[in-house]
C-alpha cells in the first residue's frame, strides 16, 4: 500500500448547550457551543470501515449534555476538563481528546416582579477555550474573537520601506481599529498543580488587553499588538504564551477637497476588504511556543 494514514481525529462539533441554574427565583445561565475531537487507535476505521474502536460522535454529543447535568458548568475551561478526562480515561482506544468551546455572555434584564430569569445576550466578543488531554498532560488555551476596538487618535504610520509599487501616504494622526482574535496558553498542565481561577483569569486578561490597546501611543499595529501581549504576560502569571491575529480595519479619511470642504479627521470610510492582517506570538521568556500560527475560527 503506497499510502499511509497520518494525524486524524473525529467527534461531534458545535453542540449548543444552555445550562440554567436556579437559585430560588434567581436564575443563572451558561451558553456554550462545544466541539469534541478524539484521537487514538483509529487506523482500522479508515482502512476497512470497522467501527469496533469508534465511540460514535452521537455519543460524544450525548456526553456533553449529560455532563452539563452531572457536573454543571462552572466555567468553559472546567467543563472541558471534565469532558476530556472522561473520553481519555473511559475508552481504551482513545488516547487524546481536544474540547473546543465558544461561550456567549448574557446580561440580566432588570424588570419588575419577583423572578430574576430574564436575559439579553451581549453581542460583544465570543469567549473561547480549548482543552487538550493525552492522559498525562493538560493544555488549556483560552481566548476570544470578534472584540472590535478603535482608537480615534494616537496612531501614526510613517518611515516605512518604499518600493516601485508604494503609493501610500504617511499618516501622522489616523484611526487604529481592529477586531481582536486572541489566544493565550496557561502553564497549568498537570492535575498536581493548583488550577487557575478561569473566570477571573478571563476577565483580567480581557481588561489588560483593552487597556494596553487604549494606552499605547501607536506607531504601528505590530507595536500595539506586542504591548497587548506583554501586558498579559506581565500581569497574569498563569499565562505563558499569547497569540494574536489582528486585522487592520482601515478607516480611510474621506477626501472632501472636491466638494470644497476640509475633512479635519472627522469623517471616515470604514472599509471591508482588503485589510492588513497582523499576527504574532508573545512568549514568557524561556517558554516554548505551542499555539499554532493559524488561529481557527472555532
Comparison of 195 and 230: residue with beta carbon closer to its own copies: 230
Total Cβ atoms within 10 A of residue 203: 11
Site for its own copies in 239-278 (CB under 8 A): 241, 243, 247-248, 251, 254, 256, 258-261, 263, 265-278
Comparison of 122 and 197: residue with beta carbon closer to its own copies: 122
Q: Please tell me whether residue 189 binds its own copies under the rule CB under 8 A.
A: no
Kindly state the smallest distance separating residue 248's Cβ from its own copies, in Å: 7
Q: How far apart are CA 210 and CA 217, in angstroms?
A: 13
Q: Who's near 112: CB < 8 A, 6+ residues apart?
A: none
Instruction: Determine contact, residues 146/179, Cβ cutoff 8 Å.
Output: yes
Which of 30, 61, 86, 250 is the catalytic position?
A: 250
Nearest to 99 by CA among 132, 58, 60: 132
Nearest to 182 by CA among 220, 236, 145: 145
> Which of 85, 95, 96, 106 lies at the binding interface for its own copies (CB under 8 A)?
106
Q: Please tell me whether residue 66 binds its own copies under the rule CB under 8 A.
A: yes
Residue 225 dihedral angles phi and psi, to the nearest 5°? -60, -45
Residue 77 dihedral angles phi and psi, to the nearest 5°? -65, -50
Q: Which stretch binds its own copies (CB under 8 A): 43-51, 134-142, 185-193, 197-205?
A: 43-51
Q: Which stretch binds its own copies (CB under 8 A): 68-76, 137-145, 185-193, 196-204?
A: 68-76
Active site residue 162: no
Residue keyed to cell 469496533 = 52
The CA radius of gyration of the chain, in Å to the nearest whole number, is 23
Active site residue 250: yes
Complete DSSP assignment for 48-65 = T---TT---HHHHHHHHH
Comparison of 112 and 192: residue with beta carbon closer to its own copies: 112
Q: Please tell me whether residue 152 binds its own copies under the rule CB under 8 A.
A: yes
Comparison of 122 and 191: residue with beta carbon closer to its own copies: 122
Which of 27, 28, 57, 117 is the catalytic position?
A: 57
Comparison of 150 and 195: residue with beta carbon closer to its own copies: 150
Q: Please tell me whether residue 89 binds its own copies under the rule CB under 8 A.
A: no
Q: How far apart are CA 104 and CA 249, in angstroms?
A: 24
Q: Please tell me whether residue 211 binds its own copies under the rule CB under 8 A.
A: yes
With H, G, I as helix, E, B as strand and everything else as coil, classify residue 289.
Answer: coil
Read off the C-alpha cell for 293. Answer: 500560527
Q: Please tell me whether residue 38 binds its own copies under the rule CB under 8 A.
A: no
How many residues contact its own copies, by CB under 8 A?
A: 147
Active site residue 12: yes
Comparison of 192 and 273: residue with beta carbon closer to its own copies: 273
Instruction: Determine contact, residues 176/151, Cβ cutoff 8 Å.
Output: yes
Site for its own copies in 1-30 (CB under 8 A): 1-22, 27, 29
Q: Catalytic residues, which ones?
A: 12, 57, 250
Amino acid at each position: 500500500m503506497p499510502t499511509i494514514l497520518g494525524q486524524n481525529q473525529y467527534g461531534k462539533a458545535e453542540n449548543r448547550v444552555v445550562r440554567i441554574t436556579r437559585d430560588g427565583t434567581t436564575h443563572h445561565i451558561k451558553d456554550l457551543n462545544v466541539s469534541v475531537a478524539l484521537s487514538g487507535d483509529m487506523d482500522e476505521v479508515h482502512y476497512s470501515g470497522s467501527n469496533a474502536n469508534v465511540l460514535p460522535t452521537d455519543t460524544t454529543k450525548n456526553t456533553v449534555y449529560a455532563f452539563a447535568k452531572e457536573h454543571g458548568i462552572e466555567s468553559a475551561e472546567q467543563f472541558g476538563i471534565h469532558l476530556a478526562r472522561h473520553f481519555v480515561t473511559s475508552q481504551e482506544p482513545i488516547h487524546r481528546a481536544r474540547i473546543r468551546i465558544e461561550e456567549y455572555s448574557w446580561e440580566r434584564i432588570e424588570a419588575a416582579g419577583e423572578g430574576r430569569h430574564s436575559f439579553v445576550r451581549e453581542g460583544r466578543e465570543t469567549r473561547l477555550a480549548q482543552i487538550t488531554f493525552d492522559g498525562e498532560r493538560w493544555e488549556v488555551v483560552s481566548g476570544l474573537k470578534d472584540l472590535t476596538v478603535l482608537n480615534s487618535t494616537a496612531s501614526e504610520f510613517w518611515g516605512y520601506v518604499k518600493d516601485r509599487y508604494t503609493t501610500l501616504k504617511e499618516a501622522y494622526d489616523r484611526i487604529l481599529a481592529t477586531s481582536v482574535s486572541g489566544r493565550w496558553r496557561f502553564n497549568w498542565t498537570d492535575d498536581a498543580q493548583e488550577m487557575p481561577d478561569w473566570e477571573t483569569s478571563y476577565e483580567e486578561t480581557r481588561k489588560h488587553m483593552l487597556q494596553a490597546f487604549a494606552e499605547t501611543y501607536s506607531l504601528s499595529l505590530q507595536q500595539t499588538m506586542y504591548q497587548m501581549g506583554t501586558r498579559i504576560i506581565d500581569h497574569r502569571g498563569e499565562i505563558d504564551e499569547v497569540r494574536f491575529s489582528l486585522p487592520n480595519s482601515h478607516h480611510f479619511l474621506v477626501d472632501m477637497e472636491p466638494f470644497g470642504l476640509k475633512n479635519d479627521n472627522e469623517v471616515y470610510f470604514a472599509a471591508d476588504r482588503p485589510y492588513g492582517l497582523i499576527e504574532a506570538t508573545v512568549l514568557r521568556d524561556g517558554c516554548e511556543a505551542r499555539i499554532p500560527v493559524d488561529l481557527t475560527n472555532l
